[in-house]
């Protein structure tokens, strides 16, 4: 963290090597998060590169009040939302009473079998996970990924996305139930 602060300060002063080191240090994290939102490796690569370009140009506005990674996550989400608007006709923000979430408040009880415990997921399972999350509107997907997958606090997610804490909780709640219900047919015994 202290090392990051030094690199950021040096990069702000125009130290190219310092910025290069920051890119090197965070590129995997940014790429991985970009993929989790875009669900496409090519788009993730594009978003990752754009994110560092935006970060360099806006580095002076980074105050250090949040972690550098949290600041990068915010740029990634903005880039993903912009790319989505350009390339898709699907609305980014779904209506609260969208048909998509109908039934997610029903308790569909089913006992799931064992799921893989380690990070090695097979191709079939990855396809199931991709299909489920691709159905989830982007604004819900982003909240789920930031909070549950990347482990940011509810407050950090709210601050990054300019959402109130109750709004983050509401989207997270819906996203969790939606994904669980989408995966239910695959895992239910």
Partner 1 sequence: MTLVDHKKYLLEICEKVDQDLASPTCKKLREHLEKCPDCAAYYDSLKKTIVLYRNYDVEMKGSRVTQILARLDLDEPLQITLPPKGPGQDRNKKHPH
Which range of residues in 39-47, 71-79, 81-89, 158-166 is near partner 1 by CB under 8 A?
Answer: 39-47
Long-range contacts of 61-67 (CB under 8 A, 24+ apart): 62/8, 62/12, 64/5, 64/8, 66/156, 66/159, 66/160, 67/1
Please choose, from the candidates 25, 31, 36, the residue with its C-alpha nearest in 3D space to the C-alpha of residue 147: 36
Site for partner 1 in 98-157 (CB under 8 A): 105-107, 109-112, 115-119, 121, 125-126, 129, 133, 144-145, 148-152
Closer to partner 1 at the Cβ: 11 or 94? 11
CB of 89 to partner 1, least distance (A): 26
CB of 57 to partner 1, least distance (A): 8
Q: Is 19 in the site for partner 1 (CB under 8 A)?
A: yes
Q: Which of 37, 47, 48, 80 binds partner 1 (CB under 8 A)?
A: 48
Are the C-beta atoms of residues 68 and 51 closer than 8 Å to each other?
A: no
How far the first Cα of the chain sits from its last, in Å, is 46
Are the C-beta atoms of residues 164 and 158 closer than 8 Å to each other?
A: yes
Closer to partner 1 at the Cβ: 123 or 162? 123
């Amino acid at each position: 963290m202290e090392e990051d602060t030094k690199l950021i300060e040096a990069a702000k002063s125009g130290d190219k090597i310092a910025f290069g080191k920051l890119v090197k240090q965070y590129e995997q994290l940014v790429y991985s998060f970009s993929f989790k939102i875009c669900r496409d490796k090519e788009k993730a690569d594009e978003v990752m590169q754009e994110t560092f370009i935006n970060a360099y140009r806006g580095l002076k506005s980074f105050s250090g009040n949040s972690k550098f990674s949290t600041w990068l996550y915010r740029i990634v989400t903005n880039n993903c939302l912009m790319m989505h608007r350009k390339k898709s006709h699907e609305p980014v923000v779904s209506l609260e009473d969208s048909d998509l979430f109908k039934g997610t408040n029903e308790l569909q009880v089913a006992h799931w079998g064992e799921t893989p415990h380690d990070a090695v997921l097979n191709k079939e399972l990855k396809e199931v996970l991709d299909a489920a999350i691709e159905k989830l509107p982007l604004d819900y997907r982003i909240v789920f990924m930031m909070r549950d997958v990347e482990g940011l606090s509810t407050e950090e997610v709210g601050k990054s996305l300019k959402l109130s804490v109750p709004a983050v909780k509401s989207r997270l709640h819906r996203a969790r139930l939606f994904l669980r219900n989408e995966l239910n047919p695959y895992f239910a015994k």
